[in-house]
Chain A
């Protein structure tokens, strides 16, 4: 799958998985921070949920939150990691 398509698909999956009913894929810029104010405003429970998403959709195992923090910065970093480590 091309990177652009993957980015769009990931955004849809994030919206669905985290039930972000007010958000569209178009409103999530590739470099918009996932966490904290000014970004998508996700929190620590969401980071655990995103680790589950990566596991279920892409077969990626992230051992713990410290590792997760480096991956879960924005859509760009997530897609980069998926492309390198996906098993699905």
Chain B
């Protein structure tokens, strides 16, 4: 019985972590997309001969635009590291009353 309960507890953890990972994978893929686009797709599509187009490829435009890169770098860092971290630190609960009561009775 205990083992089963422990499994459920682990399952709850699983249910938080794994879906989050899928979510983050999704987000990650959308970030990886430019990286993929630049490295993998170009490698795979190398045999497709594209004629010299007047406008530069999208990924090259991003690569050359350092102000855009700065904006993206600062934003990704600010959201995932700073904002998310600060939000978590601001939302911590207090020590549960039962624990305090057991000691201070």
> Do A and B truly interact?
no
